[in-house]
């Protein structure tokens, strides 16, 4: 009889544990989406306590690599270019990516040095006069980092700029260096600058070197009701307001 009661007791415990289990949805995102995705996750987690959205942020390329390596991952938010390439090559299979928002590449300043960067000549002067510069490591798939390397090559100042540059893990780390005044200039997404400290924004790159990146979202199971809630919220008016206030231009 005691064995029967023990068995029933363990059955009840297992049942209770299964009832209390919260499904986890891991979302890997480019760092430029950090603050809006944190707000989206907070909203949905509060309104749906039985499920949990967990965010992981990195460069556009590193976020993609982490997502692909994690077979239990739910969604990837990175550049449309990367998602289109992954879908066309078969690395990702399924429905098309959903456009989310656009952001521009730009420059932050530490407060010690505030030049004008309205054209190529001013940009070149600003980069040469800066004592120190930080930008996201291109080797980690940083969209702005790759663009910045190409830009300083075209400006013919690659050697001078790289000699005084620090490679950061991502835009978030770049902005930490700017805010702590460890570098004069930080090169990253305008959205990352605004999300870190809008007062440090010097401006986007001049027109001839403009970098406009479109972020999109791709999910392994877009028909999952909780994924539908996430995507629906991102595309809602409230979602658009959240993206806008964090320096992103919603795709409507």
**Residue 118, phi then psi, degrees to nearest 5:** -75, -20
Per-residue pLDDT at 9 = 42
Domain limits of the chain? Answer: 18-102+213-250, 104-212
Rounded to whole angstroms, how far apart are CA atoms 194 and 23?
Answer: 33
Contacts of residue 24, defined as CB under 8 A and 6 or more positions apart, other chains included, come to 51, 52, 54, 72
Rounded to whole angstroms, how far apart are CA atoms 178 and 168?
Answer: 11
- Looking at 1.10.3720.10, 1.10.10.10, 3.40.190.10, 3.40.50.720, the CATH number of the domain 104-212 comes to 3.40.190.10
Pairing of the two strands 249-250 and 98-109: antiparallel
Question: 151: exposed, middle or buried (C-beta count within 10 Å: 0-12, 13-18, 19+)?
Answer: buried
Rounded to whole angstroms, how far apart are CA atoms 238 and 76?
Answer: 21
Per-residue pLDDT at 19 = 40
Rg (CA), the chain: 22
Q: What token pair was written down for 54?
A: 């967990």
Say whether 104-212 and 18-102+213-250 share the same fold: yes
What residues in the chain have per-residue pLDDT under 50?
Answer: 1, 5-21
Which pairs count as long-range contacts for 113-118, CB under 8 Å and 24+ apart, including other chains? 113/184, 113/185, 114/202, 115/202, 117/202, 117/203, 117/205, 117/206, 118/203, 118/206
CATH entry 3.30.930.10 includes domain 18-102+213-250: no
Contacts of residue 203, defined as CB under 8 A and 6 or more positions apart, other chains included, come to 106, 107, 117, 118
Per-residue pLDDT at 16 = 45
Rounded to whole angstroms, how far apart are CA atoms 216 and 101?
Answer: 7
Contacts of residue 101, defined as CB under 8 A and 6 or more positions apart, other chains included, come to 33, 36, 214, 215, 243, 248, 249, 250, 251
Per-residue pLDDT at 113 = 73
Q: What token pair was written down for 245?
A: 């206030």
């Amino acid at each position: 009889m005691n064995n029967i009661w023990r068995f029933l007791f363990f059955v009840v415990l297992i049942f209770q544990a299964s009832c209390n289990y919260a499904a986890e949805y891991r979302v890997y995102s480019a760092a430029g989406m950090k603050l809006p995705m944190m707000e989206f996750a907070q909203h949905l987690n509060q309104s749906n306590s039985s499920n949990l959205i967990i965010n992981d942020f990195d460069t556009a390329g590193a976020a993609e690599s982490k997502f692909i390596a994690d077979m239990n991952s739910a969604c990837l938010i990175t550049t449309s270019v990367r998602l289109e390439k992954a879908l066309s090559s078969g690395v990702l299979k399924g429905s098309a990516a959903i456009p989310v928002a656009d952001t521009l590449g730009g420059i932050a300043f530490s407060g010690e040095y505030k030049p004008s960067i309205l054209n190529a000549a001013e940009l070149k002067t600003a980069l040469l006069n800066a004592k120190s510069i930080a930008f996201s490591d291109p080797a980690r798939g940083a969209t702005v980092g790759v663009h910045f390397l190409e830009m300083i090559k075209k400006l013919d100042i690659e050697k001078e700029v790289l000699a005084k540059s620090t490679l950061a893990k991502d835009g978030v780390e770049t902005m930490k260096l700017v805010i702590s005044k460890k570098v004069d200039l930080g090169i990253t997404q305008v959205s990352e600058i605004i999300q870190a400290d809008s007062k440090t924004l010097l401006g986007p790159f001049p027109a001839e070197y403009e970098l406009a990146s479109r972020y999109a979202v791709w999910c392994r199971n877009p028909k999952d009701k909780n994924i539908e809630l996430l995507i629906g919220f991102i595309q809602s008016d409230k979602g658009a307001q959240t993206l806008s206030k964090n320096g992103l231009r919603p795709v409507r």
